[in-house]
Structure 1
Amino acid sequence: MERLMSGSQQNLEREAKMLEMMASHVGDDGIFWVPKYTDKPWLGPVENLPYANVHGQGRMMRAMIAWYQYTGDPRWKERIDRMVDGMDRLMVAHKEDYAYFPTQGWIPEEYFRSCYLKDKGWKDTTEPENEKGGEEGSLFNHQGHIPGALANWYVLTGNRQALRLSGELVRFLTKPKFWADWKGGEYPGVNGAEHAHWNGHLHGHANTLRAILEYAIATNDPRLKQFVRDGYEWGKQHVLPRIGLVGDGQGCGCGRLIGLAVKLTDAGVGDYWEDVDLYIRNQGSEMQFTPEDIPRMRELVAKHSNPDPPQWYKDHTVGTNVRVVESAVGAFSMGYPPNKRNWALCCSPHGNMGLFYAWDGILRYSDGIAKVNLLLNRASPWMDIDSYIPYEGKVVLKNKQAREALVRMPLYVDIGTVTCAVGKKKVQPEWLDRYLRIRNLKAGDVVTIRFPMEERIEKWTSPAPWYGIPKFPVKEDVVFTFKFKGNTLVEVSPPLWDNGWMYVDRAAKYKAAKAPMKKVRRYVTSKRLKW
């Protein structure tokens, strides 16, 4: 996905080998297997191999769907069709009108207990009774991806087996017993289970809500669309959602929320571009390790080096100390206080996917109309967008193909103050809700949009400890003062964490009233993935 954004070919040969390796693990039976390696202790006891991780089926299918669109290679289609059939026949327990993946396998350890063994199948196919019975205490966390991937595959190819199985899984995942307090509701008079209210694993619930939405889009089910909207609105209240600091603060959490918000908006279920703008300008990008973080990471390494690391670390069997800091650049942090001091295999890909979801949502083009949803930089075959925000209230559109542009103004912009010019000619602003409409454009036209860029202060309170137990990735029960320029957080007081460096450099970085300019080579693609 990020190659589509950047055009980068860095390590492409290595990536191709990884893809070839992973694709080879899709068996003739259609199951994505973890094969019988004897030199990879992190895969669990050798006697249990090969096994199939439920979570891995959904992730692999989503990855292959992206690669099928990216390459057009029919071999990806054959593999995905095979996976649909394999999961349907072998891994899923079918009931009257619904289906589920059992959670009780033969391996008792966390992350392995819900694995399907090739020579034994499931240990127990009893239907799960609540949402807390899966990996990381969440049934949704390891099953949530799959019905969405299946629904997307139907939309792309018309595979009706995928649609049927997706529907069966969605009917299971939307059972009241998995949502809220399904007997009484969390508030008097509210049936929370019918409105996707939930408490628990942010990532699992975000994945599942997105999957339900994807099935609802495939079948045009308005009830399910509203269910997902209610669940998103409920879930985004957690911790400090104004800046996208949600759940346990992991970098992947914000990325998942961005994806769900974009999907809901594209489906016409709501307008969440304001949320996406706030998320991506703050937690959705602040959680990424950048070259500027290297000195601080080196300082952390010097302070916290283990004087006696385990043998597997010395042997580089699982860990390594070779160029660790440099290799972390581009990854996303887990985010627990006080610093961006660690990362995880889930945070880096899903945090980076949040960048892609936002990038993809910046611009939509159809029938000569360019719709600009986010005032962020973007180069495209139809129109280039140069954003001077948050330094200046200025956006420049360099038209290539559009005859009309619709440009959304964020909520902090008073539309009465907006000015617009095509070339040197001033244009009277015309509005469709918060979208500035610019008509009669020609190739080569340069549109300049200006508005005041002002700082504002907002106060937000972090949650109190949950039943007296510290639980949240910020100081708890504290009133924070946020200073914004546009939707960019430039200063927070007190700091979110003691001795942490997140957001501390922003006041100086964004102090200037003129945007710093840098000459870069920009990549343009006309391809759009249906993710």
Structure 2
Amino acid sequence: MAIEYIQKDYPDFDIPPYKGTSYESWIPDTLDLAERADLAINGLTGPTDPEADYEAYWQVNFFRNPPIMWHDIDDVQPKFMEALPLLRIITGSQYNNQVDFAWMTTLLRSIGPDGLIYMPLIGRPWAKFYRGPDGYPNPVWKENGQTTNIDDPSVEFIAQPWVATGRLLSTMVVYYNRDNNEIWKTTAQSVVDRLTTLAIHKDSFSYYVEGSFEPNATVDKNSKMPQGVQAGLSTGRLIQGLTHVYKFMDYKPAIELAGKLVSYLINHAAFFDKDGKFIENTEERNFIHFHDHAIDLLFILEYATETKDMDLIKFVNKSYKWARTQGSCTVGFFPEIIEDIPISYKYPQHQRGCLVSETCEVTDMINLALKLTKIGIADYWDDVDRWVRNQFAENQLTRIDWIERIHNPAKEINVMRVGETDERVAERNIGAFAGWPSANDWSLTAGIMHCCTGNGARTIYYVWENVITYNNDKLSLNLLLNHASAWADVKSHIPYEGKVEIKINQRCNVLSIRIPEWIESNSTDVICLVNNHPKQTTWNGRFVEIASLNQGDTVILDFPIEEKTVTEMIGSVLYTLVIKGNEVVFIDPPGKTHPLYQRAHYRENNTRWKKVKRFVPDKHLDYF
């Protein structure tokens, strides 16, 4: 059965090409975010269903024989839709670009008569399978103010005011900034207008009732005000999208609504305490899911940055510093559940005891550290560097040979349910991100829930965008990673050697390079050569600065790098880690399914090289 959207047709639009300069280059075989972006494009477009307008599959189970993936309620695809054009900006890749058109079309066909975005149920039977522990998507609010549930045959379309709508606002912002088509701007504004009328407004804050909505729904203004996780899901997930609409489309009602939602989440939702600590003690849940809080904290920070609200920024910083204590700052492992789950709550055994993380938590913390650093409230560059190089990089699926080894032929299952597929599941998910990794293993069971892939893919762009920054004739290299840009090309030997090479592509008055945390400030062990001649440097905090560089100059920076051995409890397991620079090169005990940190080659002290195709975009979006 074909999917029936609320709109039968859609307005014309074009997808402009991703223009830039491509060239081949030999670079050190170390972490390269452009390469990871290229893989992630497969991880976003591969696990999609061409028979369902390229709808993304929600979860993947590599432990079943054969591996399968299946559809569920559609709250993940909007994350994919936002991230995909960002990754194409990095790489210039047109791989599987039929997916882009399909997703843009389905978005425009999902705009209801009241301006909100509606998910179709006809032709998508899997949309009724999901039942969250919080009861979502029920109740379903109707036009007459009454409620029903998603199993009611009369319910054909529902709107989600949480993940889907918030991320789709951001998606339309990305589209608009690429093609300048007014359709995205007017559509986003109509969504904001409807969200404003649908909210329950108090003097200083606003919120949404629990559940989902039919077109032109009316809600009971006297309904119970959501608390805890319900507040975060129903209200908090909208804040970033609203802030984006204001920032990039200059629509003031969006930031006004965002401000009222922030006030609710901070002051009235029993979601954070006064010091920013995550709290949860409601009827639905009495344990803390890290990501539910951390992602909303990031969105609050986006709002606070745009409105220059220093009190809010300080609140987020305080919360971030507390959150750092709940996981491993060494590798960037942050647990899915901060405290163990009560036995009465039905959660899989592997998710108990803080054994696993989700890529979602890792990305939340990376992005909080990055944003707080950018706005100058603190310096967390080393947090970003450690976590990107370790748990984040290891969480991306780059190999699939191990999947065959874990199958039990005696347990082969060939029966496919509605919404499931076993077609080339492993290959189609290369570049996706782990759903439940431990500190030493890519997966203890199952494999992927694609919310992690959406958040991981977007984080690649966030970090890539900030490796190098240029402002007032000052070029800053903030993270010593391989990178190609219009300003400079970077070749990073870390962790083989303490060495970075920078080729200047545009003249700059000052080149400022952040020195890794294992080197003391003002150390004389940092040696600089420009065009093979010694060059004087000046320390400025954690950066060394080199004056007056011209196009074509080559800068080489050398500094010590050594191994150290540490013992740390991560996710309730005691590990021994060998760390070179900031990168884990050995972990004990090792993983059993797909062990992480297979990095013995980094300990050789001689750089391995690889030939790559580099791409420098003509234009990138200053998105984060």
Q: Which runs of 5+ in 1 are unaligned?
A: 104-113, 181-192, 463-473
Q: Which runs of 5+ in 2 are unaligned?
A: 1-85, 129-149, 280-287, 337-356
Structure 1 residue 320: Cα displacement: 0.8
Decide which of 199, 202, 206 is 2:294's aligned counterpart: 206
Q: Summarize the alignment of residues 90-101 of structure 1 with structure 2, pairs less than 5 Å apart.
A: 91-101=198-208
* CA distance 1:19–1:378, shift in 2 (3 Å): same
Q: Tell me the secondary structure at the aligned position of residue 431 of structure 1.
A: strand
Contact 2:206 2:260 in 1 (8 A): yes
Find out whether 1:147 has 2:252 as its counterpart. no
TM-score when scaled to structure 1? 0.86
Query: Quick one: distance in 1 between partners of 2:239 and 2:564?
Result: 42
Query: Quick one: distance in 2 between partners of 1:325 and 1:516?
Result: 28
What corresponds to 2:325 in structure 1? Answer: 237
What corresponds to 1:321 in structure 2? Answer: 422
Find out whether 1:158 has 2:250 as its counterpart. yes
Decide which of 252, 255, 259 is 1:167's aligned counterpart: 259
Larger strand fraction of residues: 2
Q: Tell me the secondary structure at the aligned position of residue 481 of structure 2.
A: coil
Decide which of 510, 518, 521 is 1:412's aligned counterpart: 518
Of 350-359 and 41-50, more deviation after overlay is shown by 41-50
Q: Summarize the alignment of residues 292-303 of structure 1 with structure 2, pairs less than 5 Å apart.
A: 293-300=399-406, 302-303=407-408
Find out whether 1:31 has 2:139 as its counterpart. no
Contact 1:339 1:501 in 2 (8 A): yes
TM-score when scaled to structure 2? 0.73
Query: Quick one: distance in 2 between partners of 1:297 and 1:4?
Result: 31
Structure 1 residue 266: Cα displacement: 1.3
Query: Quick one: distance in 2 between partners of 1:339 and 1:444?
Result: 42
Decide which of 268, 292, 308 is 2:376's aligned counterpart: 268
AA aligned to 1:150 is L
AA aligned to 2:367 is G
Contact 1:92 1:101 in 2 (8 A): yes
Deviations 1:415-457 (A, max 9, x none): 3310001112111221110111011100111000000111112
Query: Quick one: distance in 1 between partners of 2:221 and 2:87?
Result: 40
Contact 1:141 1:203 in 2 (8 A): no
Sequence identity of aligned pairs in percent? Answer: 28
* CA distance 1:39–1:353, shift in 2 (3 Å): closer
Deviations 1:89-125 (A, max 9, x none): 1x2111112100111xxxxxxxxxx212226544675
**RMSD value over aligned CA atoms?**
2.0
Contact 1:238 1:246 in 2 (8 A): yes
Find out whether 1:519 has 2:611 as its counterpart. yes
Structure 1 residue 311: Cα displacement: 4.6
Of 18-27 and 405-414, more deviation after overlay is shown by 18-27
Of 139-148 and 369-378, more deviation after overlay is shown by 139-148
Q: Tell me the secondary structure at the aligned position of residue 242 of structure 1.
A: coil
Contact 1:255 1:355 in 2 (8 A): no
Contact 1:298 1:325 in 2 (8 A): no
AA aligned to 1:353 is R
Query: Quick one: distance in 1 between partners of 2:595 and 2:464?
Result: 23
Query: Quick one: distance in 1 between partners of 2:217 and 2:116?
Result: 14
Find out whether 1:74 has 2:182 as its counterpart. yes
AA aligned to 2:160 is N
What corresponds to 2:171 in structure 1? Answer: 63
* CA distance 1:160–1:198, shift in 2 (3 Å): same
What corresponds to 1:467 in structure 2? Answer: none
* CA distance 1:305–1:6, shift in 2 (3 Å): farther
Decide which of 589, 603, 609 is 1:494's aligned counterpart: 589
Query: Quick one: distance in 1 between partners of 2:569 and 2:222?
Result: 44
Contact 1:140 1:207 in 2 (8 A): no
Decide which of 396, 401, 417 is 2:506's aligned counterpart: 401
Find out whether 1:196 has 2:276 as its counterpart. yes
What corresponds to 1:528 in structure 2? Answer: 621
Query: Quick one: distance in 2 between partners of 1:167 and 1:4?
Result: 31
Contact 1:252 1:332 in 2 (8 A): no
Q: Summarize the alignment of residues 256-405 of structure 1 with structure 2, pairs less than 5 Å apart.
A: 256-290=364-398, 293-300=399-406, 302-303=407-408, 307-308=412-413, 310-312=415-417, 317-336=418-437, 339-340=442-443, 341-403=446-508, 404-405=510-511
What corresponds to 1:483 in structure 2? Answer: 578
* CA distance 1:85–1:18, shift in 2 (3 Å): same
Contact 2:327 2:335 in 1 (8 A): yes
* CA distance 1:128–1:253, shift in 2 (3 Å): same
Contact 1:69 1:529 in 2 (8 A): no
Decide which of 462, 486, 503 is 2:596's aligned counterpart: 503
Q: Tell me the secondary structure at the aligned position of residue 247 of structure 1.
A: coil
Decide which of 219, 222, 226 is 2:314's aligned counterpart: 226
Query: Quick one: distance in 2 between partners of 1:208 and 1:520?
Result: 37
Query: Quick one: distance in 2 between partners of 1:305 and 1:380?
Result: 52
Q: How many correspondences in the alignment?
A: 480
